[in-house]
């Protein structure tokens, strides 16, 4: 472990030297062999002006490949139609991947402008292929003869998924309907770009500047970060707080200035809801109007029904059944938490009303009172370097893989890269980390590919290039980056997505992705190890004293594991319900998104005013520009799976059980979408997923016992959905 830390420090120094601050504009790197180590993108040579020509050439090549399929007069076969289609569009897909990832992690005015130009072009190109009648005829010809073909299970699944993807995209519509759907898709693509850019602008435009006499309650490291941020803004005598979670949450947790907590939290809640140039309410209307019309064209009563039909859940009733089962006990638990905090609140504000901006502050006070535990006594043990080392340790214990720093082109000087070696020392892939917030980066944390795992024409595995992007607490002049418990857990989460990408060993590109409500299983599973005593003792080391976290702190952490679960579960399920409700509309009429949300959550379901949903519509990036529309429930559905998988490790008596880990890798992680999610799950676990471990983990065990599993839920298997970036 010490050697890994030393190498990391050395590598960080090297990357600052080798990464150029300016990229020369020369020959388009997308038009020739990259010649880079491990096949990573040539970030040091890619400039914004390279993307449009590369995307245009990619679309042209894709058109030619499709034309070759449709002009072939031979009998339609799996090889000359389905496999040829699966192999088409590789250049376009590669350029698009890099473009999309950079727009999220390292955006610029040039890229923002290009997004607006490119989005409708890409949408139109995709529709041209999906609406190609000759192409669909040949796909259908193979599909109709599928039972007579000698196909193995993966070939059959690829055939069925390919056919279904055309049907879901509108291949069975008439010409007039196709033209309308094409226009809808182009409008939606542009709306998504505008929505995301508005949120980024709102995040960047707000800052709360305070003087030294307004910092009561704030710990030293929080003050240091705020002072350094203010200095960057040219306000050396001030302290700056932003809407980045790494700044916002510590302020809400520790600031004794209630009016300032209210000020910054209201700014956070009202992003893109201020009736100005960045307001997203009209765009939300556009999304729902267009998505509802699209669903109707494709034969579905609502957009939610259209989305969920391609997921494990299969029906919106199944989704609501799960969410409703959790909502009532979670809200009741949250009310109990509020009652305890109000006793503390009354001592400070005898005549006031407890508000949402008070929750973090008094929850931390209550935790300290009940468990003699506060986050500041834990943070010195959770330096970013140590948490990352702990994750590497865990991956090695479970799967035998190792990580070594490498010098490769970087898209930003703060990014770092590792070569990942399998247990047999073979190359598994490249993993980038990008940890800290900056103006060009979207909020949140996510994991995605720059290069997807595939097989080349000679049958050689093309290793993936994966990136984990976060917005963690920055280091200061006095201390390294010290993570909150939530940030540490987030790194475990995103690393789970990375393992899923790295372990992929799928023959066909069309079988790479899994269902949306399955995709969070690998990530959420990793969270289960984050604060296990055995794992903590491996990585939770005080950054100054090198003392391993003492047992008494581990005991306090374990005793407090259910603390505030009512709040956290309620805000999560509230967002999931608001997402399902707005996308379950069967008819569109102009509406006020905020009024709709209040009716859905407060009036209909009794959400208490002291808790806000995790996301309000105007900045709900997951469901409007992040690929989780009618899918925010994915996290909860997958939680049933992840807690039941972790139960297998617990039952074995060994949290590092290599046989179970190997089975999970071979039967789940490596297989991508080569079978539907429930088939993969049953193949690994040998039974239906059980809901009880998930409910127990949230302190929501109720009597009578809940239904044991998801098996009774209508339709628990489905074809995979397309998707790419796993976002938190």
172 vs 310: CA distance, rounded Å: 17
Catalytic annotation present for 494: yes
Angstrom CA distances, 598 to 569, 605, 606, stand at 18, 10, 10
496 vs 502: CA distance, rounded Å: 10
State the CB neighbour count (10 A cutoff) for residue 565. Answer: 17
Catalytic pick among 106, 112, 186, 494: 494
Reduced to 3 states (helix: H, G, I; strand: E, B; else coil), residue 288 is: helix
Angstrom CA distances, 670 to 359, 425, 449, 664, stand at 42, 17, 15, 9
453 vs 503: CA distance, rounded Å: 9
- Is residue 672 within 8 A of residue 511, CB to CB? The reply is yes
Which residues are CB-contacts of 712 (< 8 A; sequence separation ≥ 6)?
Answer: none
Reduced to 3 states (helix: H, G, I; strand: E, B; else coil), residue 629 is: coil
Q: 478-494 as b/e, with b when 16 or more CB fall inside 10 Å?
A: ebbbbbbeebbbbbbbb
Give the residue among 477, 372, 482, 494 at the shortest CA–CA distance from 432.
494
Q: What are phi and psi of 181, to 5 degrees?
A: -65, -40
State the CB neighbour count (10 A cutoff) for residue 187. Answer: 17
CA 363 to chain centre: 27
11 vs 385: CA distance, rounded Å: 12
Indicate if the alpha-carbon torsion angle 535, 555, 493, 303 is positive or negative.
positive
Which residues are CB-contacts of 280 (< 8 A; sequence separation ≥ 6)?
Answer: 195, 198, 199, 272, 273, 617, 618, 619, 624
Token pair 């049933």: residue: 640
Lookup: tokens for 77: 């076969």
Active-site residues: which are they?
494
């Amino acid at each position: 472990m010490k050697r890994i830390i030393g190498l990391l420090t050395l590598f960080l120094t090297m990357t600052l030297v080798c990464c150029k601050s300016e990229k020369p504009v020369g020959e388009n790197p997308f038009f020739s062999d990259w010649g880079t180590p491990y096949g990573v993108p040539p970030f040091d040579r890619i400039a914004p002006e390279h993307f449009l020509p590369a995307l245009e050439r990619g679309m042209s090549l894709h058109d030619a490949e499709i034309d070759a399929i449709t002009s072939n007069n031979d009998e339609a076969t799996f090889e000359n139609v389905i496999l040829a289609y699966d192999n088409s569009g590789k250049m376009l897909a590669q350029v698009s991947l890099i473009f999309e990832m950079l727009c999220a992690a390292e955006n610029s005015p040039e890229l923002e402008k290009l997004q607006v130009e490119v989005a409708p072009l890409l949408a139109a190109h995709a529709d041209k292929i999906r609406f190609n009648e000759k192409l669909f005829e040949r796909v259908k010809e193979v599909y109709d003869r599928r039972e007579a073909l000698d196909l193995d299970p993966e070939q059959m699944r690829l055939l069925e998924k390919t056919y279904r993807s055309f049907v879901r995209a509108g291949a069975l519509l008439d010409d007039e309907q196709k033209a309308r759907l094409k226009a809808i898709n182009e409008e939606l693509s542009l709306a998504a770009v505008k929505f995301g850019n508005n949120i980024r602008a709102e995040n960047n435009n707000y800052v709360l500047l305070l003087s030294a006499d307004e910092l009561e309650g704030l710990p030293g490291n929080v003050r240091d970060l705020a002072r350094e941020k203010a200095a960057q803004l040219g306000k050396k005598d001030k302290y700056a707080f932003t809407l980045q979670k790494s700044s916002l949450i510590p302020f809400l947790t520790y600031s004794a200035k209630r009016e300032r907590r209210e000020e910054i939290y209201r700014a956070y809640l009202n992003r893109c809801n201020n009736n100005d140039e960045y307001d997203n309410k009209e765009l939300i209307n556009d999304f729902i109007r267009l998505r509802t019309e699209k669903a109707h064209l494709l034969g579905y009563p609502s957009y939610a029904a259209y989305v969920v039909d391609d997921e494990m859940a299969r029906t919106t009733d199944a989704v609501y059944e799960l969410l409703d089962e959790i909502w009532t006990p979670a809200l009741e638990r949250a009310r109990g938490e509020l009652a305890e905090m109000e006793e503390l609140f009354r001592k400070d504000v005898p005549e006031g009303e407890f508000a949402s901006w008070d929750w973090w502050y008094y929850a931390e006070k209550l935790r300290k009172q009940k468990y003699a535990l506060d986050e500041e006594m834990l943070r010195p043990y959770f330096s970013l370097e140590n948490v990352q080392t702990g994750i590497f340790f865990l991956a090695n214990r479970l799967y035998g893989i190792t990580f070594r720093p490498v010098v490769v082109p970087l898209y930003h000087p703060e990014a770092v890269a590792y070569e990942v070696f399998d247990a047999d020392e073979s190359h598994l892939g490249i993993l980038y980390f990008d940890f800290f917030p900056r103006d060009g980066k979207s909020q949140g944390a996510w994991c995605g590919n720059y290069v997807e795992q595939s097989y080349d024409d000679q049958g050689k595995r093309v290793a993936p290039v994966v990136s984990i992007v976060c917005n963690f607490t920055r280091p200061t002049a006095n201390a390294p980056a010290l993570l909150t418990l939530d940030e540490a857990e987030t790194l475990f989460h995103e690393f789970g997505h990375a393992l899923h990408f790295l372990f992929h060993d799928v023959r066909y590109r069309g079988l790479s992705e899994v269902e949306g409500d399955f995709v969070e299983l690998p990530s959420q599973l990793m969270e289960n190890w984050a604060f296990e005593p055995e794992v903590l003792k491996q990585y939770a080391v005080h950054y100054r004293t090198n003392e391993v976290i003492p047992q008494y702190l581990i005991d306090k952490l374990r005793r407090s594991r259910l603390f505030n679960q009512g709040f956290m579960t309620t805000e999560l399920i509230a967002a999931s319900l608001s997402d399902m409700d707005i996308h379950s509309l069967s008819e569109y009429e102009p509406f006020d998104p905020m009024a709709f949300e209040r009716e859905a959550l407060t009036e209909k379901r009794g959400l208490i005013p002291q808790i806000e949903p995790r996301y309000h519509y105007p900045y709900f990036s997951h469901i409007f520009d992040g690929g989780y529309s009618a899918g925010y429930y994915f996290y909860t559905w997958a939680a049933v799976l992840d807690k039941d998988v972790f139960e297998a490790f617990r039952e074995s008596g060994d949290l590092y059980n290599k046989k179970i880990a190997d089975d999970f890798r071979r039967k789940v992680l490596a297989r991508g979408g080569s079978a539907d999610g429930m088939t993969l799950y049953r193949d690994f676990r040998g039974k239906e997923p059980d809901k009880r471990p998930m409910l127990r983990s949230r302190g929501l065990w109720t009597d009578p016992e809940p239904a044991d599993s998801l098996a009774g839920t209508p339709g628990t298997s489905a074809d995979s959905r397309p998707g790419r970036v796993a976002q938190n």
